[in-house]
Amino acid sequence: MTVQTQNTTQVLAAERAAPAVLALLFGVFLVFGTGFAHPQTIHNAAHDSRHAFAFPCH
Amino acid sequence: MIGRIFAVALLAGLAAGLFASVVQHFTTTPLILHAEEFENKSAALGGHHPVDLASRGVQAEDWGAKLYLAHGAAGHGDGAEAWGPEDGLERTLYTTLADVITGIGFALVLTALIVLRGQAVDGRQGLLWGIAGFTAVSLAPALGLPPELPGSMAAELVARQGWWAIAAASTAVGLALMFLGRAAWMPYAGIALLILPHLVGAPHPDEIGGAVPPELAGHFVAASLVSAAAFWAFLGWATGSLAKRFELV
């Protein structure tokens, strides 16, 4: 019984982990795009936001 | 599962991004526009040497290759004028768009971490997650790299971005060890990780003395940190509340 519960918990944790890690990576990608990406056009569009959030800019 | 994670993050990030845009409109943006007046004035006086360096005790020949003046030709180099939004409504809309995308990005990270932790949250606990996010992403990096106005002097960009990322990640892991770790040694390792990036030290320019008056720069540091704190508090609360509503964990 205890073993079964533990297995179920582990399966649930594993099921949660994959989509969570995917979401985390996509989130980092978005923040990288608005805060860090070097192309001049992206920099200019996000300029005031970068300064306000104190991402290193210029 | 993935659908609910994204639903929570999109809603929380959208709301927090819009909220941040309104806050910034009254706090940081006026200071950025004000600083650009000084930046443009000094750029008109002579491009690569926008400020009277001698009057600030800086020798012109000390002007190292690693000094970058925001918006100056030295910073961007390519000479050709790239596209940028027109001042006014267009610029405000692009700033709002960037805020919303940044908000959704941070919301995805926050939601993912809450799911990985696997313990139920509500709005109040979400607020604590938001404070942790503020500490990792705004407060800790600000000790090494204070929020900067256009026209400030700073070290080479990639070095600063690298240090920023390391400081944010190290602080985040450090906070997790301190507050979520179960083993006895974890809080000590957490404290060490909080301190480590500052022992390494952020990259700084060899000389200081940018175009922006120090009064304005000081005000901007406070405005940036306060608006970031408001953003993170809102984002954490919204993420926690929506995570509860969507029964995420």
> Which residue carries 């480590």 as its tokens?
B196
Cβ pair B152, B32 in contact under 8 A:
no
Distance (Å) from the C-alpha of residue B162 to the closest C-alpha of chain A? 9
Distance CA B232, CA B102 (A): 11
Question: How many alpha carbons lie under 13 Å from residue B188 in its C-beta half-sphere?
Answer: 3
Q: How far lies A28's CA from each of A21, A22, A33, B40, B147, in Å?
A: 11, 10, 9, 33, 20
Q: Could you give the ipTM of this predicted complex?
A: 0.87
Which residue is associated with the tokens 């007046």? Answer: B37
Q: Which candidate, B223, B240, B234, places its Cα nearest to that of B35?
A: B223
Asked if B235 and B13 touch (Cβ cutoff 8 Å), the reply is: yes
- Extract the tokens encoding A58: 């210029």
Chain B residues lying within 8 Å of A53, measured CB to CB? 102, 138, 224, 228, 231
Q: Is A45 on the interface with B (CB under 8 A)?
A: yes
In sequence order, the β-bridge partners of residue B153 are B69
Whether A14 and chain B come into contact, CB under 8 Å, resolves to no
Q: What is residue B61's DSSP assignment?
A: G
Angle between helices B89-117 and B214-245 (to 10 degrees): 50
**By the 8 A CB rule, do B205 and B155 touch?**
yes
A16:B83 CB<8 A? no
Per-residue confidence in pLDDT tens, chain B, 249 aa: 899 999 999 999 999 999 999 999 999 999 999 999 998 887 777 554 444 444 444 444 443 334 444 454 444 444 567 899 999 999 999 999 999 999 999 999 999 999 999 999 999 999 999 999 999 999 999 999 999 999 999 999 999 999 999 999 999 999 999 999 999 999 999 999 999 999 999 999 998 888 999 999 999 999 999 999 999 999 999 999 999 999 998
Q: A48 touching B, CB under 8 A?
A: yes
How close, in Å, is residue A51 to chain B by CA atoms? 6
With an 8 Å Cβ cutoff, is A28 touching chain B? Answer: yes
CB pairs under 8 A between A and B: 161
Q: For chain A, percent helix, then strand, then coil, each to nearest 5?
A: 80, 0, 20
